[in-house]
Amino acid sequence: MARTPHDGSNDEADQPDPAQAAEPDQVIHEPEDIPADTADDETGEARRVDAEGRTAPMAGGGEPARVAALVYNPIKVDPEALRTAVETHARDAGWGEPLFYETTVDDLGDDVTRQALAEGVDAVLVAGGDGTVRAVSEAMSGSGVPLTIVPSGTGNLLARNLLLPLTDADAMIATAFDGDKRPIDVGFAKISRADGSEEEHAFVVMGGMGLDAAMIANTNGELKKRMGWVAYVDGAARSLVGAKPFSVMYEVSGHRTHRTHAQSVLFANCGSLPAGLELIPEASVTDGQLDVVVVQPKGAFGWMLVWRRVAWDNSVLRKFRAGRRALALRTKDNAVRYSRGTVVAVALSEPQHVQLDGDEFGEATGVLARVEAGALVLTVPHDHSITPVPA
């Protein structure tokens, strides 16, 4: 039988009786009015669980999954293994697919890091040499986004100073997704050239002018690739030949202006060097201060005093209470002069080489260095202390 078209005349009669629909509690319910079944303190809402039954973030629903970015130097690491490890840890932590950025000769890591931050990433990992770590830290300073250092390269200067594991990359990758946050200071150096131009770059370990920078500039790149930081010995030997002190005027905030002849002027956020050498034992990445070192030996005997200060006094004696007491009784010498402040201004009579975290930045006639306290947030293993405990 053909169905008669409905003309709408009985619409009212077709509606259910509200009184009957409300039986038996006399209330008409909407779906959201009914509480979900719950047990064992569960909310009753849909959730995603991992293999052990733990709640994990849901894809495609609720808040978007967090995303990490990896910035790496393909020459310093095994790219495929590194990317696979980051993908695995991100997936296990319930994060989204990570983003990957390679550094190049023209981009040490700062530009690609800014691209990652523009994408709204929740964390950044960096794997490369000291120069890569410096460039990425510069871009991330003040962002509030946590950075995880995956030790790579030859120096690992910041990782060494923070007492991070240097041989367990997988552990540090895992830290990016489940670690403690630690803010550290970042230094910035405004470099003045002889032609009147200026440029500013960050450093997280230390910068310097004079012999230390010339040593880096004279280090053979191929030798460094094969031998690591030991190659700097060759650079030092090349630089010491004919090295002459230069006239410098410097002023550290809170101190008077000094004029002297020096071999090097360093401004540091950290104080430890490779091979266990302590240039500045009291330096801290969390004190909001820069430590300034002026190396001004007089003749061969003066260089012996410099070596004694760094290799014996700072690196051995100061680690023990008895050694510190012995040093307090010793007559001071001026071969190495220390001071501390938030800003240091350095002016030279003639251009000298400049280095920041082991990267050579050409020659300059002056540097204005400053510190931004707590500007960089790092992710470290749980309960890890980034400062050594005195003996």
Spatial distance between the Cα atoms of 315 and 334, rounded to a whole number of angstroms = 18
Question: 198 φ, ψ to 5°?
Answer: -135, 150
pTM of structure: 0.78
pLDDT-derived band at 322 (thresholds 50, 70, 90) equals confident
Q: Work out the number of other CB atoms within 10 angstroms of the CB of residue 93.
A: 17
Supply the DSSP string of 105-159, one letter for each residue: SS-SSHHHHHHHHHTT-SEEEEEE-HHHHHHHHHHHTTT---EEEEE-SS--HHH
Q: How deeply is 221 buried, as exposed, middle or buried, from its count of CB atoms within 10 A (0-12, 13-18, 19+)? A: exposed
For residue 176, give the nearest of 99, 271, 288, 102 by alpha carbon. 99
Task: Spell out the domains of the chain, with CATH numbers in brackets.
Answer: 68-178 (3.40.50.10330), 187-372 (2.60.200.40)
pLDDT-derived band at 239 (thresholds 50, 70, 90) equals low
Cβ partners under 8 Å of residue 366, min gap 6:
191, 192, 345, 346, 347, 348
Q: Work out the number of other CB atoms within 10 angstroms of the CB of residue 300.
A: 7
Spatial distance between the Cα atoms of 208 and 265, rounded to a whole number of angstroms = 6
Tokens of 92: 């296990």
| CA dihedral of residues 32, 38, 43, 44 (deg, nearest 10) | -60
Q: Are 294 and 262 in contact (CB under 8 A)?
A: yes
Q: Is the model's pLDDT at 189 over the cut of 60?
A: yes
Spatial distance between the Cα atoms of 348 and 352, rounded to a whole number of angstroms = 8
Pairing of the two strands 48-49 and 68-72: unpaired
Spatial distance between the Cα atoms of 349 and 390, rounded to a whole number of angstroms = 40
Q: What is the pLDDT of residue 44?
A: 43
Mean pLDDT of 235-259: 82
- Sign (positive/negative) of CA torsion 154, 72, 146, 148? negative
Q: Are 146 and 181 in contact (CB under 8 A)?
A: yes
CA-based radius of gyration for the chain: 30
Spatial distance between the Cα atoms of 188 and 138, rounded to a whole number of angstroms = 9
pLDDT digits over 81-130, tens only? 999 999 999 999 999 999 999 999 899 999 999 999 999 999 999 999 99
pLDDT-derived band at 71 (thresholds 50, 70, 90) equals very high
pLDDT digits over 254-270, tens only? 999 999 999 999 999 99
Spatial distance between the Cα atoms of 100 and 14, rounded to a whole number of angstroms = 61
Supply the DSSP string of 247-275, one letter for each residue: EEEEEETTS--EEEEESEEEEES--B-GG
Residue 64 per-residue DSSP state: P
pLDDT digits over 199-227, tens only? 999 999 999 999 888 777 666 566 555 55
Residue 278 per-residue DSSP state: B
Q: Which long-range contacts (CB under 8 A, 24 or more apart) does 29-34 make?
A: none
- Across the chain, what does the average pLDDT equal? 83
Q: Are 6 and 13 in contact (CB under 8 A)?
A: no
Q: What is the pLDDT of residue 229?
A: 54
Most confidently modeled range among 220-229, 291-300, 303-312, 327-336: 291-300
Q: What is the pLDDT of residue 51?
A: 46
Give, in order, the Cα–Cα distances in Å from 32 to each of 35, 58, 126, 319.
7, 21, 46, 66
Per-residue burial over 250-289, b if 16 or more Cβ lie within 10 Å, else e, is: bbbbeeeeeeeebbbbbbbbbbbbeeeebbbbebbbeeeb
Q: Position of tokens 């014996």?
A: 312
pLDDT, greater one: 235 or 283? 283
Spatial distance between the Cα atoms of 143 and 140, rounded to a whole number of angstroms = 5
pLDDT, greater one: 154 or 269? 269
Q: Are 354 and 213 in contact (CB under 8 A)?
A: yes
Question: 333 φ, ψ to 5°?
Answer: -120, 165
Q: Is the model's pLDDT at 49 over the cut of 60?
A: no
Q: Among 6-20, 58-72, 166-180, which is the least confidently predicted range?
A: 6-20
